[in-house]
Amino acid sequence: MFARRIAVVGTGYVGLTTGACLASLGHRVVCADIDTAKIERLRRGEVDILEPGLVELVVEGMAAGRLEFVVGAREAISRPDELPVEVMFLCVPTPMGAGGAADLSAVEAVAAEVRSLLPSGCVVVNKSTVPVGTAAATLGLLNRRDVAVVSNPEFLREGSAVHDFLHPDRIVVGCDAQDAAERVAALYSKLGAPTVLTDAASAEMVKYAANCFLAMKLSYVNALAELCDVLGADVGAVTEGMGYDRRIGQAFLKPGPGWGGSCLPKDTNALVQVAAAAGRELPIVSASIATNERQRVLMVDKVRDAVGGSLAGLRIGLLGLTFKAGTDDLRDSPALAVAALLRVEGAELTGFDPGCPVAVPGVTDDVTVVSDALLAAKDAAALVVLTEWPQFRSLDWAGIAGEMACRVVVDTRNLLDADVLRRARISWVGVGRR
């Protein structure tokens, strides 16, 4: 493998993981961000996000002289004393814009900034999730015949991003110029993963196709769980029985309060929008989105039933605020969505989350954030588990029972051991469980 000179623009989850991991594979990487304070922190080896193994790779990469941080894309590619950058990764945010379509203004801004500066022969790689056709559009924006634009979607999960980067199920690289696609694929050759080389539009489509499939899988499981509740079946046994079929697989079959985070909600909405713009409907994805919204309402129904029919004026304790365990990310968190619905019905909410120890103004305003589970349980008419932090299983349940006004736990993640709770004389309500 040749060590390449790489620029990574954007140091969020995807960009920082990409930069640090590519440096660990032996490449020479310069990461750029417009946030000066963040770059200064990274230069001191401080990583803002909770991502196992990332800070170690950042520190190691800098110590080995293979990883640097600069302010701005311009600085990353126009350094006269350095050899020219061969590959530039775009890892900037593509949030949900008006009407659900992806907002590409960050990609457009970087393209405008670097257009005249890119070295001849440089390959621009889009790692952000972008609508089909963005590689072609970026090439148009750059307006350079001597530069190629490649789509190389990432499949990292928050909380295991470094592991996912270094042990990928597959690498997908798409470009209408085959040699540029092969150069990008070669950056990962050490990883030995199956590689799909295709055109740019297909590579862009893979990312939406995969995330929407995962969202559909979860909505299907959540709908099955509802039915299990009604019919007296056990969703754990049902998904185990389904999952042994290798065409289905055991992964991503856990019911919950609905799926969230910065990716699945954004990408499902974007695909529906893209389809609509192309004059097509995608009812299967639209139904998954609707099922997901409904799931949050069903969780509130469970809590209301558990406390005797009305939430007005009751104190409810929440365990978990982040969109999933192992992260500090609150973006589009199903836990916060359920909290908002509980609040509308007049509940007073106190919440504890190991990844979010203090209140985040403007985000956690529906909840009084406390620093441990006992405080969340204090005087609560019910406790509601909303995020699957494994440490919740081994909480001091007898102590928690002593704090609660009413001993009932609604476990929207089916996380806890009902027998342990029973011994603490707490009644347990799960999702789709007998």
**Residues with catalytic function:** 263
Told to check if 334 binds ligand UGA by CB under 6 A, we report: yes
Told to check if 264 binds ligand UGA by CB under 6 A, we report: yes
Interface pick for ligand UGA out of 263, 303, 380, 424 (rule CB under 6 A)? 263
CB 235 within 8 A of CB 255: yes
Interface pick for ligand UGA out of 259, 352, 389, 397 (rule CB under 6 A)? 259
Shortest distance (Å) from residue 146 CB to ligand UGA: 31
In this structure, what DSSP letter does residue 102 have?
B
Q: What angle do CA 262, 267, 270 make, to 5 degrees?
A: 125
Binding mask 148-187 for ligand UGA (x = CB under 6 A): ------xxxxx-----------------------------
Interface pick for ligand UGA out of 15, 261, 354, 355 (rule CB under 6 A)? 261
CB 77 within 8 A of CB 113: no
CB 261 within 8 A of CB 323: yes
Near ligand UGA by CB under 6 A, which window of 223-231, 257-265, 286-294, 417-425?
Answer: 257-265
Interface pick for ligand UGA out of 29, 214, 349, 416 (rule CB under 6 A)? 214
Number of shown-chain residues binding ligand UGA (CB under 6 A): 21
Q: Give the footprint of ligand UGA on residues 107-146 (CB under 6 A).
A: 129
Near ligand UGA by CB under 6 A, which window of 40-48, 169-177, 252-260, 284-292?
Answer: 252-260
Phi and psi at residue 340, in whole multiples of 5°? -60, -40
CB 181 within 8 A of CB 173: yes
Q: Give the footprint of ligand UGA on residues 270-329 (CB under 6 A).
A: 323-324
Other CB atoms within 10 A of residue 360 CB: 14
Shortest distance (Å) from residue 419 CB to ligand UGA: 23
> CA-to-CA distance for 334 and 366, rounded, in angstroms?
13
Query: Strand 315-319 to strand 348-352: parallel, antiparallel, or no bridges (unpaired)?
Result: parallel
Instruction: Between 62 and 235, name the residue whose CB sits nearer to ligand UGA.
Output: 235
Told to check if 260 binds ligand UGA by CB under 6 A, we report: yes
> CA-to-CA distance for 145 and 190, rounded, in angstroms?
30
> CA-to-CA distance for 417 and 426, rounded, in angstroms?
11
Torsion angle of C-alpha atoms 29, 35, 40, 42, degrees rounded to 10: -50
Told to check if 89 binds ligand UGA by CB under 6 A, we report: no
Told to check if 4 binds ligand UGA by CB under 6 A, we report: no
Q: In what order do the strands lie in the sheet with 408-411?
A: 368-369, 348-352, 315-319, 382-385, 408-411, 427-429
Q: Which residues of the shown chain bind ligand UGA in the complex (CB under 6 A)? A: 129, 154-158, 211, 214, 218, 252-254, 256, 259-261, 263-264, 323-324, 334
